[in-house]
Structure 1
């Protein structure tokens, strides 16, 4: 049934497609770039279609190449999992999760202890450098936790955590918040006006004119910095219900006008279809779904 499958060429193709580089695939497979090119050309000749577009620097997948890569990558993950399950003494599992620095610091890391209690043999590595990651191309990443309202049709949407935004401050700040125009704290993302729009929407809903009255606005690049500034009493912060939850539970921050909230976006856990069957990934996604329920 499988005698005619060019297994060696398909393995080389998967590596080259994942790296988008014949040179990187050669290094991974311990062969020469010329050998990778030869295997790919033979596969293209066998299939009768071009799988890569050769560029001055590197290669790009064609539509047919994309289709084959997605199927091959998932199939090889299944094979690798099957082999792991047959090993008499499998090594402790591990997975890599990419997310934002603020989500990792304010939500994920404080709760990982509960995951380790249930799965002591699984190690979670967190990648929070902020660089965009293509999960189909970067096999190092098992799970991405992404923020926004976008849809990711080529990825498995494992679970989703929605949020609202409210205003919070230290107990001392909350005690005097209604007596004068307060100092305000916000987050300034280079590619988003979410916080600016959110402050305006909250002020409109609350019936206050802080922005028109020239309230001092202190801006930070990261949500974790903004929350620390609020804890230190520097002003009132507009914050995500997700990000502020631990600070509120610990009494470091209190909500101001808790009846007034504005809609936010959501965090979504994503992975390449098929990856969710890998035991460490399956355990992590199941734990995440319970935490987000």
Structure 2
């Protein structure tokens, strides 16, 4: 039934296989087994495009609702326990470089709430399918059906290792900075173009530029002197303070776009969610 609900929602065996982390062959086998047990077909196979039968449409709607009730019942069970579990989804770099330093104080002040972190490789949180109370996502918002609270806005500036910074003139010029290899994050490669445009310069991609899948790798490459990273100031504040990284150019690209704490509007006032949101926003207000 779980396999059928996924296929019905995506209208794709391939997408369902990716979501459930099983093979397309297993998907086909499960659907055939379910149809044989029911005694009728759930999909119209008369043409090349996958389509639900009328019975399949009704069944899929009921299953989606049933699974949502199971998730809600599980969440309510966790809340009713001796310790509430607050599940947060977000990117690994955001957790490591920004959120985790806040958590010891939160746990000390709210010992009845246990925080659980789940790293995600996507830019959103599907609260219907993923186990999460809140998510931290990047963008401009708002998002339909979600309450969103801004945590931090973009403040992007180039950062380099001290040895590489020593090769630059003082004061640093844009031309000398952009002559160095640039470190790109494959997740948001456009950020460099936006900074360059914001500072009033132009630059073509260079064979010496380095592209990394994860932003944490970008920062480590910068620390090791492999090139210039475009640093989110909130992420590299510790390195800038201890001198591991240097910000050689004064231009900081600031925008309203940034990281938001989000949750479904119907759960926004759930005690553990509200307590975490209010506590975190209060910490940011103090800082």
Partner SS, residue 198 of structure 1: helix
Deviations along 1:180-233, whole A, 9 cap, x unmatched?
Answer: 56533333335x4422423422552xx6x6x35958322211211111111112
The residue correspondences of 1:107-118 to structure 2 (distance < 5 A) are: 107-118=98-109
Aligned pair in 2 of structure 1 residues 275, 197: CA closer, same or farther (>3 Å)? same
Identify the range of structure 1 (227-236 vs 170-179) with the bigger mean alpha-carbon deviation.
Answer: 170-179
Aligned pair in 2 of structure 1 residues 169, 202: CA closer, same or farther (>3 Å)? farther
Q: Which residue of 1 aligns with 2:190?
A: 194
How far apart in 2 are the matches of 1:185 and 1:123?
Answer: 40
How far apart in 1 are the matches of 2:210 and 2:183?
Answer: 6
How far apart in 1 are the matches of 2:98 and 2:264?
Answer: 23
Deviations along 1:45-68, whole A, 9 cap, x unmatched?
Answer: xxxxxxxx764897258xxx99xx
TM-score w.r.t. length of structure 2:
0.65
Aligned pair in 2 of structure 1 residues 178, 188: CA closer, same or farther (>3 Å)? same
Deviations along 1:80-116, whole A, 9 cap, x unmatched?
Answer: 49x83xxxxx511211111112211221123322222
How far apart in 2 are the matches of 1:276 and 1:251?
Answer: 40
Aligned pair in 2 of structure 1 residues 173, 143: CA closer, same or farther (>3 Å)? same
How far apart in 1 are the matches of 2:148 and 2:55?
Answer: 33
Q: Which residue of 1 aligns with 2:163?
A: 172
Q: Which residue of 1 aligns with 2:154?
A: 163
Alpha carbons 1:136, 1:272 under 8 Å: kept: no
Alpha carbons 2:134, 2:262 under 8 Å: kept: yes
Deviations along 1:68-89, whole A, 9 cap, x unmatched?
Answer: x99x89xx78x949x83xxxxx
Aligned pair in 2 of structure 1 residues 221, 214: CA closer, same or farther (>3 Å)? closer
**1:279 maps to 2:280:** no
| Cα RMSD, aligned residues only | 4.1
* Unmatched tracts of structure 1, length 5 or more: 1-15, 21-32, 38-52, 85-89
Q: Which residue of 1 aligns with 2:227?
A: 235
How far apart in 1 are the matches of 2:108 and 2:55?
Answer: 49
Alpha carbons 2:160, 2:229 under 8 Å: kept: yes
Alpha carbons 2:147, 2:264 under 8 Å: kept: yes
Alpha carbons 1:187, 1:222 under 8 Å: kept: no
Q: Which residue of 1 aligns with 2:212?
A: 220
How far apart in 2 are the matches of 1:159 and 1:103?
Answer: 14
TM-score w.r.t. length of structure 1:
0.64
Aligned pair in 2 of structure 1 residues 213, 280: CA closer, same or farther (>3 Å)? closer
1:244 to 230, 236, 241: 236
How far apart in 2 are the matches of 1:271 and 1:141?
Answer: 9
